[in-house]
Amino acid sequence: MPNKIGFPRIGSYTEIIAKLFEELGTEVVLSSPYNEKAFKTAIATSPEMVCLPLKYTLADYIDILEKSNENITLIGYKTSSGRCRFHCYYLSQTQILKNLGYKFKGIYPIRSGLGTLFDIMAITGANLGEILFAFNRAYKRIKKLEEELYPKTGDIKIGLIGEIWSICDPRANLNIIKKLQNLGCYVKNSLCLSHFINDGFKMLFNKKRKLLRKRARKIFPELLGGHAINSLENFISFAERGFDGIILIRPLSCSPEVFIETFINSLAEEYKMPLFIQNCDEISSETNLENRIECFIESIRLKK
Amino acid sequence: MILAADIGNGNIKLFLNSNHTPYRLYQPNLGIKRTLKELIEKLIHNRPDLKDITVKAIGLTGAGRHYANSFLPGTVKTEILCQYKAILELNPEANSILEIGKEDSKIIILRDKIIDYFSLNTICSGGVGNYIENICFRFNLTLEEFDSLALQSEKPVNIGSKCAVFGLSSALNYLQKGEDIKNIVAGVIKAVARNCLSMVKGRQIPSPCIFTGGGALLKSFKKAFEEELGFEVIIPENPIFTGAYGASLYAKEDKTLSLGEILSMCYT
């Protein structure tokens, strides 16, 4: 019998990741795009000031466990830099799910970088060759999807920086990307899944990227988790490539992104770059967001 | 004649410009259609001479602008742009704008007469007029009484500025300790001013700074901002209506409607 797995949704990439696991011989239980009951339970049982990714991924786990029997392995994500709270979330989520009375094999945290390959080997039982082929196919699908998600049209160039999950999951960012595109913006996401996968290789071989990382490290020399350092380097990159505005999307109270806020603000002043910060939380209001980004884009148009 | 409406979450403000003679009217927003209808009816009742004059342009702004535009044709602009346009028209020297509404507060910083940075309150209600109204309600004060008490205080208490709910608890806590009410309300207004100013995240708010919105009607608010900023802030005439005035400046003159026709659109 194949291993049965479930994993939290991450926007439109969800189906591609599911297909990857299926191709490697596992049975995948997909969570529903939005299950209000599961989400309410997740909010009620999550620690009070925790960030949105814990709540949404927990809701996805609850939804999956409601659909499936005991014999399932849940998959969690673990960041390599390790200073973001997110890398411990699978532990508290396991405890919360147990407290709720669910029975499952456990949450298996997948590391980033090369660790991903070994973790997937352990979960699926597939060999390295099979995984690399499946990864290659998945990568092509991801690239194709991203071409559809981010068409290169629009007269205002907006760069997105921040935390990858909240940028990629429209539930978290209240569909900000579509909203910006509807306002006539060309949106460039610095943290697409493909960029995330490429980042390690680029750091090795791409001189420009290496230099940017160096400059970001100069601004903030301490280790930070999440995508805080990426946010700094991507800000510089967007500003120097002549973008019209930058939007920082992060979960409310996200510690790495909160740390670099001061530096991002100083960069915005230095480059005279319009900056908009969107904090994602379950209390965020969609109409409020619409109003704010419309103000943001209008003020950029005024400048042009 | 140009008609402009600033449809805020708290109040709807109407501004009418007929042959360069302005007419202003506002009331609490109890549903956009209903409130607009009541405002226009009141307008026709108060100024029957305007009833048959042609409305050449309509300007819409404020959080409810898009819904209003679904039944009322007009030029739609965001409140940031409208405030900016109005303030530059009223005070061309302005370098920054502070607007405190009932549910919203904004800061706009200008550089070379162009919007360089703006901020709207995001996740917290600690910096808006509603906070003050809640305190007035709890302490059984009118806004005028609140204002004059706050102005009398020489030793404002320290009240948390991050959250309106905890701010109220903190104010009540001082009451339990027997603190003079004038020091408490002065502490509240200082807290709200601090909260608003924290929106710029360390940027300098340049002078001349124009203070507008309903908050500008409170003298104690002006004083609190001046103490925090270290320079005088300027309040334009009719600060509640600057947004609507800005919308009237943007409104395109391409219509021939009577007030009666506009009123009937609000009945659809």
Reported for B12-20, long-range contacts at CB under 8 A and 24+ positions apart, including other chains, are B12/B36, B12/B39, B12/B62, B12/B64, B13/B62, B13/B240, B13/B241, B13/B243, B13/B244, B14/B39, B14/B40, B14/B43, B14/B244, B15/B241, B15/B244, B15/B245, B15/B247, B15/B248, B16/B43, B16/B50, B17/B248, B18/B50, B18/B53
Is residue A106 a part of any domain in this protein? Answer: yes
pLDDT digits (tens, 9 = 90+) for B73-90: 999 999 999 999 999 999
Within this chain, do residues B15 and B51 fall inside the same structural domain, yes or no? yes
CATH for A83: 3.40.50
What are residue A226's phi and psi, to 5 degrees? 55, -140
What separation in angstroms does the CA of B198 have from each of A264, A284, B71, B97, B230? 16, 20, 38, 14, 15
> Which three-class secondary structure state does DSSP give residue B252?
coil
B111: chain A residues, CB-CB within 8 Å: 272
Within this chain, do residues A228 and A290 fall inside the same structural domain, yes or no? yes
Contact with chain B for residue A279, Cβ under 8 A: yes
Contact B25, B39 (CB under 8 A): yes
What separation in angstroms does the CA of A303 have from each of A232, B55, B94, B239? 24, 31, 17, 26
On average, the pLDDT of chain B sits at 90
A265: chain B residues, CB-CB within 8 Å: 201-203
Within this chain, do residues B223 and B261 fall inside the same structural domain, yes or no? no
- Distance, in Å, from the CA atom of B169 to the CA atom of B176, rounded to the nearest integer, reads 10
Residues of chain B with pLDDT > 90, as a percent, come to: 67
Q: Which of B36, B44, B42 is nearest to B4 (CA)?
A: B36
- Distance, in Å, from the CA atom of A233 to the CA atom of A219, rounded to the nearest integer, reads 10
Last residue of a domain, one of A140, A169, A196: A140
Within this chain, do residues A186 and A213 fall inside the same structural domain, yes or no? yes
- Distance, in Å, from the CA atom of A290 to the CA atom of B43, rounded to the nearest integer, reads 31
- Secondary structure element (H or E) that encloses residue A224, with its range: none
Within this chain, do residues B107 and B202 fall inside the same structural domain, yes or no? yes
Contact with chain B for residue A303, Cβ under 8 A: yes
Is residue A108 a part of any domain in this protein? Answer: yes
Q: Which of B132, B140, B75, B71 is nearest to B105 (CA)?
A: B132
> Which three-class secondary structure state does DSSP give residue B51?
coil
Within this chain, do residues B100 and B172 fall inside the same structural domain, yes or no? yes
């507060």: which residue's tokens?
Answer: B105
Within this chain, do residues B112 and B215 fall inside the same structural domain, yes or no? yes
Residue B239 clears pLDDT 80, i.e. is over it = yes
Contact A281 B201 (CB under 8 A): no
Within this chain, do residues A248 and A273 fall inside the same structural domain, yes or no? yes
The pTM assigned to this predicted structure is 0.89
Structure confidence at residue A83 (pLDDT): 65
- Secondary structure element (H or E) that encloses residue B23, with its range: strand B21-28
Lowest mean pLDDT among A288-302, B109-123, B252-266: B109-123
Within this chain, do residues B64 and B44 fall inside the same structural domain, yes or no? yes
Within this chain, do residues A132 and A160 fall inside the same structural domain, yes or no? no
pLDDT band at B25 (very low <50, low <70, confident <90, very high): very high
Residue A200 clears pLDDT 80, i.e. is over it = no
Within this chain, do residues A56 and A126 fall inside the same structural domain, yes or no? yes
Calculate mean pLDDT across residues A256-272: 91
CATH for A262: 3.40.50.11900
Contact B123 A302 (CB under 8 A): no
Within this chain, do residues B256 and B164 fall inside the same structural domain, yes or no? no
pLDDT band at B29 (very low <50, low <70, confident <90, very high): very high
Is residue A251 a part of any domain in this protein? Answer: yes
- ipTM entry: 0.85
> Which three-class secondary structure state does DSSP give residue B22?
strand
Within this chain, do residues A108 and A16 fall inside the same structural domain, yes or no? yes
Is residue B53 a part of any domain in this protein? Answer: yes
Residue A235 clears pLDDT 70, i.e. is over it = yes
CATH for B176: 3.30.420.40
Contact B115 A299 (CB under 8 A): yes
Residues of chain A with pLDDT > 90, as a percent, come to: 60
Contact with chain B for residue A130, Cβ under 8 A: no
Contact B122 A279 (CB under 8 A): yes
Within this chain, do residues A34 and A173 fall inside the same structural domain, yes or no? no
- Distance, in Å, from the CA atom of B251 to the CA atom of A175, rounded to the nearest integer, reads 30
pLDDT digits (tens, 9 = 90+) for B38-64: 999 999 999 888 888 899 999 999 999
Domain span including residue B39: 2-77+243-265
How close does chain B come to A31, measured CA to CA in Å? 29
Within this chain, do residues B132 and B228 fall inside the same structural domain, yes or no? yes
Residue A85 clears pLDDT 90, i.e. is over it = no
pLDDT band at A6 (very low <50, low <70, confident <90, very high): very high
Is residue B224 a part of any domain in this protein? Answer: yes
CATH for B251: 3.30.420
Calculate mean pLDDT across residues A19-27: 94
Residue A82 clears pLDDT 60, i.e. is over it = no
Domain span including residue A196: 152-303
A302: chain B residues, CB-CB within 8 Å: 81, 84, 114-115
Calculate mean pLDDT across residues A191-207: 81
Is residue B102 a part of any domain in this protein? Answer: yes
Within this chain, do residues B247 and B227 fall inside the same structural domain, yes or no? no
Within this chain, do residues A178 and A269 fall inside the same structural domain, yes or no? yes
Is residue B137 a part of any domain in this protein? Answer: yes
The count of structural domains within chain A is 2
Tokens of B13: 């403000």
Within this chain, do residues B214 and B122 fall inside the same structural domain, yes or no? yes
- Distance, in Å, from the CA atom of A213 to the CA atom of A211, rounded to the nearest integer, reads 5
Last residue of a domain, one of A90, A111, A140: A140
pLDDT digits (tens, 9 = 90+) for A138-182: 999 999 999 999 999 999 999 999 998 899 999 999 999 999 999
What separation in angstroms does the CA of A241 have from each of A186, A212, A230, A273, B62? 14, 13, 16, 12, 34
Within this chain, do residues B108 and B210 fall inside the same structural domain, yes or no? yes
pLDDT band at A79 (very low <50, low <70, confident <90, very high): low
Contact with chain A for residue B186, Cβ under 8 A: no
- Which ranges of B139-216 would DSSP assign to H, the alpha helix? 143-152, 164-176, 181-197
Is residue A145 a part of any domain in this protein? Answer: no
- Distance, in Å, from the CA atom of B210 to the CA atom of A172, rounded to the nearest integer, reads 36
Within this chain, do residues A224 and A277 fall inside the same structural domain, yes or no? yes
Reported for A196-202, long-range contacts at CB under 8 A and 24+ positions apart, including other chains, are A196/A112, A196/A164, A197/A139, A197/A142, A199/A230, A200/A113, A200/A114
Nearest to A279 among B118, B123, B201 (CB): B123
Structure confidence at residue B55 (pLDDT): 93
Structure confidence at residue B19 (pLDDT): 79
- Distance, in Å, from the CA atom of B167 to the CA atom of A78, rounded to the nearest integer, reads 38
Contact B120 A292 (CB under 8 A): yes
Is residue B200 a part of any domain in this protein? Answer: yes
Contact with chain A for residue B118, Cβ under 8 A: yes
Within this chain, do residues A134 and A253 fall inside the same structural domain, yes or no? no
Is residue B86 a part of any domain in this protein? Answer: no
Contact B160, B166 (CB under 8 A): yes
Contact with chain A for residue B247, Cβ under 8 A: no
Contact B251, B57 (CB under 8 A): yes
The count of structural domains within chain B is 2
Last residue of a domain, one of A87, A115, A140: A140
Calculate mean pLDDT across residues A261-280: 92
Which is more confidently placed, A245 or A83? A245
Task: Report the phi/psi class of residue B25: left, alpha or beta, with left for phi > 0 and alpha for psi in -120 to 50.
Answer: beta
- Distance, in Å, from the CA atom of B139 to the CA atom of A286, rounded to the nearest integer, reads 34
Q: Which of B103, B106, B115 to mutate to test the interface with A (most CBs of A within 10 A)?
A: B115
Q: Which of A179, A285, A294 to mutate to test the interface with B (most CBs of B within 10 A)?
A: A294
What are residue B144's phi and psi, to 5 degrees? -65, -45
Within this chain, do residues A165 and A136 fall inside the same structural domain, yes or no? no
Residues of chain B with pLDDT > 70, as a percent, come to: 96
Is residue B216 a part of any domain in this protein? Answer: yes
Within this chain, do residues B181 and B116 fall inside the same structural domain, yes or no? yes
Is residue B87 a part of any domain in this protein? Answer: no
Calculate Rg over the CA atoms of chain B.
19
Helix %, strand %, coil % of chain A (to 5): 60, 15, 30
Within this chain, do residues A45 and A174 fall inside the same structural domain, yes or no? no
Contact with chain A for residue B205, Cβ under 8 A: no
